[in-house]
Amino acid sequence: MTGRRVHIAALDGLRGFAVAAVLLFHAGLLRGGFLGVDLFFVLSGFLITGLLLGGAAGRGRVALAAFWSRRARRLLPALVCVVVVTVAATWAWGTSAQLRFALEDVPWVGAQAVNWHYIAEQIGYWNASDSRVFAHLWSIGVEWQFYLAWPLVVAVAARGRYGERIVALLAGAGAVLSLALAVSLGAAVDTTRAYEGTDTRAAALLFGALVATAPVRNLARQVPRRTAGPVCLVLACALALSWAMTEGEKAPLLFQGGLFLHSLAAAALIVLMAEVPGTSASRVAGSRLPRRLGEVSYSLYLWHWPVYLLLLPRLSGFGDWGGAAVAIGVSLVAAEATKRLVEDPVRFRSGWARGRRGLVAMVALALIGVALWVAVPAPVSGAGTVDISQLR
């Protein structure tokens, strides 16, 4: 069970490829790059379930409070920082509509439920996010909701001799149920419910959870490296091809099993990379550039969309690729600074965040954010927007 805690560079690299795909998609340069979020989900399900099962094997139970505390230290500091800075930047440089919607969305972001807010308000993901600086945080909400619910399931199911088999069965059954919901709801004219619903997107997270269990990992270990190498290459090429060819909601099979198959392929690739190291695909994914992107992927994902909305309209003279390069560069600098100065100190309780100072600083920053949210005057409805539809 200790193998669950071994750091695998190739998985960092997969995360790097995933965030690169999302960045290019939002810049209008990779039409299926939104599927990188699906890969994020599968990786999250795999890593989180591995930690939970490893803890259950070591202690005989899942330490829920400790798990949630670690997740909060890992994810909340960067999120709070980005939200506070984004509100201030939108006030200074955004359009009236962007500021109005930012102020409207902030409470839902804080509640980690912005995806359900967008669903309830029928705010279509595919055509209405150009004026919402927090539109990308729907996926963070989905992950947080998974982090709250799934550990409770694992804590109960993982007990006893056959605990991991039960977890595997529950994850597999949940993924199939999620597929059925996605197929049913994906037939609607507005596919936001199918695309952003926690239940409809749970298949990716649960596939990751499934391949983190001992039955599947033991099966993967039995695959010879000479076989695993070509299989990983085929799976990686299939994912890359889907990112290049899929056209968002216009893809006829996206909600009729396309997302499900993408998650299945991603899960197979992840478990093979984790259990059969040394393949050519693992070496490529674990190389320096994708690995470094993966290490800053969380902060990079948080920063890139507000940067795009506030900066890209001012870079039209650089052309599509030139403007995207500048915006991505700014996002990378912000992400690296956030990781070094905020994420890592709070996560590892080092530097300025030793002891309780990190918690005090984050609470203070959150209170500043609340004060800013209250103090900033909301623009009147109907104010103009900047047309940046080419970002999609």
Q: Tell me: the pLDDT tens digits for 278-335? A: 899 999 999 999 999 999 999 999 999 999 999 998 988 888 899 999 999 999 999 9
CA–CA distance, 48 with 66 (Å, rounded to integer): 13
Cα-based torsion angle of the residue sequence 315, 316, 322, 325 in order, rounded to the nearest 10 degrees: 40
- Rounded Cα–Cα distance for residues 192 and 118 (Å): 8
Q: Residues 47, 53, 58, 59: what is their CA dihedral angle, to the nearest 10 degrees?
A: 120
pTM above 0.85, yes or no: yes
Chain CA centroid to CA 150, Å: 16
Inter-residue contact 241 to 79 (CB < 8 Å): no
Structure tokens belonging to residue 188: 């609607």
Cα 89 to chain centroid distance, Å, stands at 23
| ∠ Cα 68 72 73 (to 5°) | 120
Query: Between residues 27 and 189, which one has the greater pLDDT?
Result: 27
pLDDT for position 88: 95
Residue 348 has pLDDT above 90, yes or no: no
The pLDDT of residue 32 is above 50: yes
pLDDT surpasses 60 at 200? yes
Torsion of CA 154, 156, 161, 163, to 10 degrees: -30
CA 234 to each of CA 49, 126, 227, 229, 361: distance values in angstroms, whole numbers, following the listed order: 26, 30, 11, 9, 47
Q: How confident is the model at residue 382 (pLDDT cuts 50, 70, 90)?
A: low
Q: Which helix or strand (DSSP H or E) is residue 191 part of?
A: none
DSSP per-residue codes, 262-299: HHHHHHHHHHHHHHSTT-HHHHHHTSHHHHHHHHTHHH
3-state secondary structure of 371: helix
Q: What value does the mean pLDDT take over residues 253-269?
A: 94
Tokens 């005090």 locate to 360
> pLDDT value at position 13?
97
